[in-house]
Amino acid sequence: MPVESSLLGTQHIGTTSLIANRPTAAADSNSHISARESLAPSPQPTVLELADQVNALRAQLRDSRVAESKQRSQIKNQAQSIRDLTSDLHSTSYSRDELEINFNNERKAHRATEKKFEVAAANHSKAIDRLGRQSVEFKALRNEKDYLENGLLRAKDQLDTLRNLLDKTKKQLEDTGCTLVAFKHREYDLIEELKLIKVELESRDRKIKFLEETLDRQRKNNALIKADYREVDFARVPNVPIMANPSFSSNSKTSAPTNRTPLADFETNKEPKSRKRTRSLCDNEGVQDLAPKSSKRTSLNDAHHMNAQKYDHCTAPVGRPMPPRRNSTYLRTPSSSSSSENV
């Protein structure tokens, strides 16, 4: 391991430094002695002095050995502590790796919980909005329920009134049974009368259609005989009506002037006023062919008068007015129809 090699390297450096420090102590003692000798005269040392110096050197050597042993013990203790620290470092690094793995797992779990929290917050806001809408719908439903209950009460009251009215009407119907039978017969007669009226209306529609066709044909003929008044020289033309001139008849094949203003008035250049057209013999014949028979009209009027006389004795039911009698004024008599045809 690199840590153990570094620790061994530091131990070796410490031992070498202690060994290197030994001559320094001797050098310091020698420097003191040399300083004393430099101050004092330099006589020749005696045996006792030499013995004292040797003893002093031995004492220094002993002290240095003791100090060295202490330093060695300290170095051993430091090396042991370094070994312990390295083992602690290995254990702490292993625990640190485990803690990093756990931290990463916890971070992932935290991110997942944050995402879940965001989703839960969004769902919560949606639920709050849904709750608000549901509360509004609940209020609306409650109001509708109250309205329906009130309507039900009103309907019950109306039902009671209708039941009372039904009872009254039942009593009235029991009293007016004969009138109902008479009304049924009258209804049948009226249906027959309506059928006759429909036949008459169809014949009149055919006549009106024929009259419209003849009117369109006459308008086309009138449009063909219209001439532009501005191109006529009134100083040379005598005062003769246009219809009397044979050149302007509908059967003439003369070419019309180029600058013709159709359907324009001769003096004012406005829309011409409607004029009564002269009825020709063919038109009268067609109208007479399409007109309904007078005998059919007389029979219809006679049937109506008979029905009116038949049901004069019937009384109206209680609480209900009698329907008004239908007069024959809406039916056109032969004289009135002929007068309308001559218009």
What residue segments make up the domains of the chain, in order of their start?
Answer: 1-15+70-89, 179-341
DSSP string, 24-55: HHHHHHHHHHHHHHHHS--PPP-HHHHHHHHH
Q: Are 10 and 76 in contact (CB under 8 A)?
A: no
Segment holding 255, helix H or strand E = none
pLDDT at 80: 94
Residue among 36, 313, 295, 326 at smallest CA distance from 182: 313
pLDDT at 309: 54
**Per-residue model confidence (pLDDT) at position 227:** 52
148 class by beta-carbon count within 10 Å (0-12 exposed, 13-18 middle, 19+ buried): exposed
- Please identify every stretch of the chain with a pLDDT value under 50, giving residue numbers as ranges: 1-27, 35, 228-232, 234, 237, 240-297, 311-343
Render pLDDT for 35-74 as a digit per residue (tens, 0 to 9).
455 555 556 778 888 899 899 999 999 999 999 999 999 9
Helix (H, G, I), strand (E, B) or coil at 259: coil
Q: State pLDDT tens for residues 133-190.
A: 999 999 999 999 999 999 999 999 999 999 899 888 888 877 777 777 777 888 888 9
In angstroms, the CA 131 to CA 256 distance is 87
CA-to-CA distance for 14 and 71, rounded, in angstroms? 9
